[in-house]
Structure 1
Amino acid sequence: MKDSGSRPYVLISTDAHAGADLMGYKPYLPKALHDEFDAWAADFHDPWADLDLETHYDDADVLMGRASFVSRYSWESETRLEHMNAEGIAAEVVFPNTVPPFYPSGIITALAPRTEEEYRYRWEGIKAHNRWLADFCAQVPGRRAGMAQVYLDDLDDAIAEMRWASEAGLSGVLIPGDIGALYDPCYDRLWAASCDVGLPVHRHSIIVTEQTTGFATAAAAVGAHEIQFWTGRAVSHLVLGGVFQRFPDMKFVITETGCAWVLPELQKLDAEIRFGKSSGQGRMVFGQAVEGLDRSATECFRRNIWIGMSTVRPDEIALRHDIDVDRLMWGADYPHTEGSFPNTRLVLRLLFSNVPEDEVRVMTSTSAADVY
């Protein structure tokens, strides 16, 4: 992309989505599962797809993206490349978008498996997606950084897949957005493996519902309201859990979010760490967690955490120095309608009109290039 008064910008989008169409995953599954896959595919339905098909846009292939398995922009490599070239985007970080085999819904709205049987089938499904994604990224070397998905149900599986992803040329790993307790030391093996293979760990925004019956009509609304809570809570888990203390080289990226929440979260955590190292009540509550920490939450953030900003406002960009410019990375959220396509230049002018050129370059390319 080029503006009117300077040399061209190199744009790297740190939030994009892709996936195969429903039947496109079949060749990536074990043949022993093909009949069961056919039966699942014949019965699959997702209400988000109905919304996609019923809602009319200027471009019939620009869909809501929450299911979007009917949008060819998720898998047609040449069409996608044409769009990236037209938007001035040199490279994109690619998260899932469609429906891997045996999923109950589109991947962005589906929660983690709840039973052993569901896990085993869906694990084969996301392995199929990861292998499709490796091929998809390999079609345009250097322009797509694919994110391999893993579940946390079986860490041996997750670590083996992470190592495969690194060898296959993928650029990061995506963990489920609805799994808590990331402070649990049981996950240390996963964090260690991510450092060993040099892959950043990601958490992408997701609508999480804790509905326990079929009658909670507010579940989806509450889940949407709490997107930022679920997306950002990993920071407190990893900081107070001492994860960055034990794994100082770990890279953790929180994606499809804004950045206004970051500063108050870090300030609160910094105060809690100080409180826990004092005498009295604070030590009773926080002391056991923080007594071994030698860095503040802000210091952890500025070493280990990056924010992928695709739902961000200009007033949030104004906070960049208080947060840390180097930790903020812009994303287009292609091909979702809430993303910048096909108006990326206009969006960037709106976001960065009062930002110095060198800082714009940091947030739109150089930080992402360093991470990936």
Structure 2
Amino acid sequence: MNARDRYTVISADCHAGADLYDYRPYLERRYHDAFDAWAAAYVNPHEDLLADGADRNWDSGRRLAELEEDGIVAEVVFPNTIPPFFPSGALMAPAPTAAEFELRWAGLRAHNRWLADFCAAAPGRRAGVCQILLNDVEEAVREIRWAAGAQLTGGVLLPGTPPGSGLPELHSMSYDPVWAVCAELGVPVNHHAGSASPPLGDEPAARAVFMVETTWFSHRALWHLVFGGAFRRHPGLNLVLTEQGSGWIPGVLDMLDYYHGRLVAAATRATTAESRFGAGLAERMGAPPSEAWRDNCHVGASFMRPHEVPLRHRIGIGKIMWGSDYPHDEGTHPYTREALRHSFAGVPAEEVAAMVGGNAARLYGFDLDLLDAVAATVGPTVAEVAEPLAEPPADATSPVFARGASLRVW
């Protein structure tokens, strides 16, 4: 919150990417012929990337203007468009086969280099999230070091390891070099919803099942890293779970603490059938899951819904980072001010300030002096956000305004 009583709003969840052919200059020359052949045959399956608003992904000036009109002064930038050699956006693409790995890795490296330039076009306003693949851990570590040097301050996007991917699960010690370099460099590890679901087929129910299951598959990264001991071995590691909701967190932490206590206790009773499930667990993971959450974890709470706000103290005020999900149609644009009123009216101003900007500034290294100066002109006022919203905008598309959103608890 700045000196003029306006909130400094940082979206911890926005998306961007280059237009397809604009990735070509960022590819190593040896991949140009393969890219030309792939791009000529590629048919984009995503309507929003073919519509008039698609350029919001890469038009830096338009993007800054629309975010400022919405009261937002900075953003954490996740991927959105199709990188070279991918069948779809990288968030939703399945893990590559060995034959696909080289080309897809080249495509992600091109995106990362484009993103570094895109962030540099708006100094201090964008924290770009570097993409990696987990098929080759040494290559991933090298790319993370490159990204830190290139000032991609949003950290690294952790891919999922869905069933059938052929990759070790995230609790595996084989990923320890990734956790180690991220802790060493102070690089947050971001895990975004949608990136860990297995393929569900083409039956009519598949989309509905995906909606029911996708956040659960994304939540798995939390208990994999906790029970795998990543935070014990690397106490400086930060995990961010983005666009997965936040109301689930208190209950899941209670559940994980229960299993931790139960299995550790059972391991001391060698004659019980359950003892083998807890063998070595205390030594491997250390503190209970709720302590790992307190010390190492955060939530990118995209357009935090009204029913989630009363849980903020159980989640941790310092853990919550609001996000707009721009430019997606389920995001809050162009009604971010109304969304903030809908969720945060009646919440103490210092708590709102932390959740809508201060926490993200601290984790991702934004300069608040720089951003406060911008927010002094464009940020929503404290008085504005404190005013309850009587009716949502008639043409709003974000689920934050959905009827009954204040009643649901999952």
Would the TM-score normalized by the shorter structure come out above 0.5?
Answer: yes
Aligned match of 2:64 in 75, 78, 81? 81
Determine the structure 2 residue equivalent to 1:110. Answer: 93
CA–CA distance in 2 between the matches of 1:8 and 1:126?
A: 38
CA–CA distance in 1 between the matches of 2:60 and 2:277?
A: 52
Aligned match of 2:136 in 134, 141, 154? 154
| Matched pairs, number | 353
Name the SS for the 1:47 alignment partner: coil
CA–CA distance in 1 between the matches of 2:202 and 2:145?
A: 42
Q: Which runs of 4+ in 1 moved over 6 A?
A: none
- For the 8 Å contact 1:92–1:145, the answer to whether it is kept is yes
Determine the structure 2 residue equivalent to 1:37. Answer: 35
- For the 8 Å contact 2:229–2:286, the answer to whether it is kept is no
Q: Percent sequence identity over matched residues?
A: 44
- For the 8 Å contact 1:240–1:290, the answer to whether it is kept is no
What TM-score, normalized to structure 2? 0.82
Determine the structure 1 residue equivalent to 2:247. Answer: 260
The CA deviation at 1:196 is: 1.4
Aligned match of 1:241 in 228, 239, 246? 228
Q: 281-290 vs 188-197, which deviates more?
A: 281-290
Q: 163-172 vs 214-223, which deviates more?
A: 214-223
Name the SS for the 2:119 alignment partner: helix
The CA deviation at 1:13 is: 0.5
Q: Which runs of 5+ in 1 are unaligned?
A: 55-59, 62-70
1:43-192 matches, cutoff 5 A: 43-49=41-47, 60-61=52-53, 71-113=54-96, 115-171=97-153, 172-179=155-162, 181-192=169-180
Residues 250 and 365 (structure 1), Cα distance of their counterparts in 2 relative to 1, 3 Å cut: same
1:171-320 matches, cutoff 5 A: 171=153, 172-179=155-162, 181-206=169-194, 209-211=197-199, 218-278=205-265, 279=269, 280-320=272-312
Determine the structure 2 residue equivalent to 1:371. Answer: 363
The CA deviation at 1:231 is: 1.3
CA–CA distance in 2 between the matches of 1:210 and 1:187?
A: 20
Kindly provide the amino acid, as one letter, of the partner of residue 55 in structure 2.
Answer: R
Residues 163 and 191 (structure 1), Cα distance of their counterparts in 2 relative to 1, 3 Å cut: same
Determine the structure 2 residue equivalent to 1:357. Answer: 349
- For the 8 Å contact 1:257–1:311, the answer to whether it is kept is no
Q: CA-to-partner distance for each residue in 1:176-203, whole Å, 9 max, x for gaps?
A: 1344611101111110011112111111
Determine the structure 1 residue equivalent to 2:404. Answer: none
Q: CA-to-partner distance for each residue in 1:329-362, whole Å, 9 max, x for gaps?
A: 1001000011111101000001101211010011
What TM-score, normalized to structure 1? 0.90
The CA deviation at 1:221 is: 3.3
Residues 207 and 170 (structure 1), Cα distance of their counterparts in 2 relative to 1, 3 Å cut: closer
Name the SS for the 2:280 alignment partner: helix
Name the SS for the 1:295 alignment partner: coil
CA–CA distance in 2 between the matches of 1:188 and 1:275?
A: 26
Residues 199 and 209 (structure 1), Cα distance of their counterparts in 2 relative to 1, 3 Å cut: closer
Q: Is the counterpart of residue 334 in structure 1 residue 326 in structure 2?
A: yes
CA–CA distance in 1 between the matches of 2:258 and 2:191?
A: 25
The CA deviation at 1:230 is: 1.2
Residues 290 and 215 (structure 1), Cα distance of their counterparts in 2 relative to 1, 3 Å cut: same
Q: CA RMSD in A?
A: 2.0
The CA deviation at 1:207 is: 6.1
The CA deviation at 1:84 is: 1.6
The CA deviation at 1:315 is: 1.0
Q: Which runs of 5+ in 2 are unaligned?
A: 163-167, 365-410
The CA deviation at 1:145 is: 0.1
- For the 8 Å contact 1:12–1:364, the answer to whether it is kept is yes
